[in-house]
Amino acid sequence: MEEITDGVNAMNLVGDSHKKNRIQVSNTKKPLFFYVNLAKRYMQQHNEVELSALGMAIATVVTIAEILKNNGLAVEKKIMTSTVDIKDDSRGRPIQKAKIEILLGKTENFDELMAAAAEEREAAEAEEQG
């Protein structure tokens, strides 16, 4: 019986890389606030978001987490660091890259703050049109 559960656990670990609430941050592809806003959306939908990055993008992930925390929207639940081997075709051997994963959860007043921000946006848009 134990062998079956081991297989199931292994399957869960493999499926882990496709979490619905994980954002893999690159420091070249998108602007910072794209990720901040995406993280807010994920927290609305899933109550928490996992930010993940490699190498130079780690600073970007930390900045995103700090913006969300400083605005009272997120609390830090878990930070994991590791090293991963990345295949480097130019060198012909794998290179090691630092990796960080930050799990953030919603604060108690997340929904209130998001609603207030939405109201402010609507008021500003109405002012522009009027």
pTM equals 0.79
For residue 23, what are the β-bridge partners? 51
Number of residues assigned to the chain: 130
The 10s digit of each residue's pLDDT in 48-66 is 999 999 999 999 999 999 9
| Domains in the chain: boundaries | 22-128
Give the whole-angstrom CA distance, residue 96 versus residue 92: 13
Which of 50, 59, 46, 63 is closest to 22 using CA atoms?
50
CATH, range 22-128? 3.30.110.20
Residue-wise pLDDT tens digits, 71-95:
999 999 999 999 999 888 887 888 9
At 20-48, the pLDDT tens digits run: 899 999 888 899 999 999 999 999 999 99
